[in-house]
Amino acid sequence: MEKAQVAGELSGGRFAVLGMGGTIAGRAERAGDNVGYTAGQVRVEDLAAGLPALAGLALDFEQVAQINSKDMRLPELQCLVARVQAHLADDAVSAVIVTHGTDTIEETAWLLQTLLAPAKPVVLTCAMRPATAVSPDGPQNLSDAIAVAAHPGARGVVVVCAGRVHGAVEVAKVHPYRTDPFDSGDAGVIALVEEGRVRDLRPWPTQARHTDRVSAFLAASAMPRVAWLSSHADAGAWEVESLLGAPAARRVQGILVAATGNASLHADLEAALHKAEAAGVRVVLANRNGAPPVPYPAQPFADIDGLAPAKARWALALDLLGA
Ligand code: SIN
């Protein structure tokens, strides 16, 4: 982790700008190539260089990681959580901005919100085109992220992309290519960024399911093993049986199952999951379509706060970490 500092005038305090890599920091061989590039190449202070929206601000840059977010591992996440926590505790810092890859940004955003529940804004931003693109989207997204960080009503962890501000709990990547790849489902976005101005639409995030787990998360050498299975046509028992048959040291402690429709599971898979539960494995369910289940008396397993699979898997791992 390396630090750089650009001093300037800012009445509201300093902004910490942390780089994690991703497409926003990507480089392609050819300027016209928006898909054949390497993520995580350009330093975070270079992404910010020359942006009019950042001129004159007091910014502390930190390169926390430089990776493609599909390859995110526990150490990088721990490092980010620790650095964001440290900046939030600094009275001189009014907001934290994180540049990050889009592929797992929804997991990182949810982790930061659920572990830290910050009163200050923690604004994650990203891009779908590399920094070398003919028309990169990263500079506008980073400028919008700064506008959100400076917005008087902003708080909690949000993802800013394509002029839309998504909450950490709801945000999901739903498209592999377009420059507005995120959706917030029925909740909708929290705010819009229009020409540097933030227009509020609904309350900012306050959720804090696992703030009591921060120290355990930061100290963990590995997270409790939680497998992510899915129900589907022709699903069966074999995946669960393989998990249960693993040697003790590699056995799962939890299974997150992505259900079809409204919390429905293939009967053969459901029977195997009940056996897993009887064997001491905690089983939790989320809808495969990402929407919160509509509860019904015979729901086969509990969901966690209606979370979508990627976040429910982390929530279960954090539950188990504290068990
Ligand atoms: C990544 O997630 O790091 C690569 C993809 C992207 O940022 O869009």
Q: Which atom of ligand 1 is nearest to the CA of 69?
A: 3
Domain that holds residue 264: 224-320
Residue 101: CATH number of its domain: 3.40.50.1170
CATH number at residue 231: 3.40.50.40
Q: Express as a percent the part of the chain with pLDDT over 70.
A: 96
Last residue of a domain, one of 185, 200, 215: 200
Neighbour count for residue 14 (Cβ, 10 Å): 20
Could you tell me if 34 and 153 lie in one domain?
A: yes
Question: Is residue 68 within 6 Å of ligand 1 at its C-beta?
Answer: yes
Structure tokens at 60: 């502390």
23 is catalytic: yes
Range of lowest pLDDT (6-15, 108-117, 130-139, 313-322): 6-15
- Distance in angstroms (rounded) separating the CA atoms of residues 54 and 140: 11
Decide: 63 and 79 in contact? Cβ < 8 Å: no
> In which band, very low, low, confident or very high, does the pLDDT at 322 lie, cut at 50, 70 and 90?
confident
Do residue 48 and residue 133 come from a single domain? yes
Residue 30 belongs to a domain: yes
* Cα gap 323→216, rounded to integer Å: 11
**CB of residue 69 inside a 6 A radius of ligand 1:** yes
The pLDDT value given to residue 10: 42
Find the 39 Cα to ligand 1 centroid distance in Å: 7
Q: What is the pLDDT of residue 12?
A: 61
Give residue 11's pLDDT.
46
- Output the CA 256–ligand 1 centroid distance in Å: 24
- Do 148 and 110 lie in a common domain? yes
In a domain, 26, yes or no: yes
Mean pLDDT of 53-65: 95
Q: With 70 as the cut, is the pLDDT of residue 5 above it? A: no
Q: What is the pLDDT of residues 71-123, one digit of tens each?
A: 999 999 999 999 999 999 999 999 999 999 999 999 999 999 999 999 999 99
Pocket test residue of 102, 125, 177, 179 for ligand 1, highest count of atoms within 8 A of CB? 102
Indicate the helix (H) or strand (E) that contains 99.
strand 93-99
The answer to whether the beta carbons of residues 134 and 90 sit under 8 Å apart is no
In a domain, residue 152? The reply is yes
Verify that 186 and 242 share a domain, yes or no: no
The pTM assigned to this predicted structure is 0.95
**3-state DSSP call for residue 145?**
helix
Among 23, 99, 102, 132, the one annotated catalytic: 23
pLDDT at 226: 98
**Ligand 1 mean position to 19 CA, how many Å?**
13
Same-domain status, 36 and 94: yes
Cα(2) to ligand 1 centroid in Å equals: 21
- For the residues 52-58, what does the mean pLDDT come to? 93
Is 185 in the same domain as 269? no
Looking at the predicted structure, is the pLDDT value of residue 233 above 90?
Answer: yes
Pocket test residue of 20, 23, 175 for ligand 1, highest count of atoms within 8 A of CB: 23
Which CB contacts under 8 angstroms, 24+ apart, belong to 245-254? Answer: 250/225, 251/225, 252/225, 252/226, 252/227, 252/281, 253/224, 253/225, 253/226, 253/281, 253/282, 253/320, 254/224, 254/225, 254/226, 254/227, 254/281, 254/282, 254/283, 254/284, 254/316, 254/317, 254/319, 254/320
Residue 228, pLDDT above cutoff 90: yes
Q: How many domains does the chain have?
A: 2
Is ligand 1 within 6 A of the CB of residue 138?
A: no
Averaged over 180-195, what is the pLDDT? 98
| Residue at 205 is within a domain | no
| Cα angle 52, 55, 60; round to 5 | 125
Alpha carbon 113 to its chain's center: 9
Residues 57 and 166 in one domain: yes
Residues 55 and 195 in one domain: yes
Average pLDDT over the chain reads: 95
User: Can you tell me the distance from the alpha carbon of 45 to that of 58, in angstroms, rounded to the nearest whole number?
Assistant: 12
Q: Which of the listed residues 69, 177, 180 should we mutate to test ligand 1's pocket, taking the one with most ligand atoms within 8 A of CB? A: 69
Report CA-CA distances (Å) from 316 to 242, 253, 296, 303.
20, 9, 21, 10
Percent helix, strand and coil across the chain, each rounded to 5?
30, 25, 45
One domain for residues 152 and 115? yes
Residues found in the chain: 323
Q: Is the pLDDT of residue 21 over 50?
A: yes
- Please report which confidence band the pLDDT of residue 323 belongs to, taking 50, 70 and 90 as the band edges: low
Is 128 part of a structural domain of the chain? yes
pLDDT score, position 1 = 60
Verify whether ligand 1 is closer than 6 Å to residue 20 (CB atom): no
pLDDT of residue 13: 81
Residue 295 has pLDDT above 80, yes or no: yes
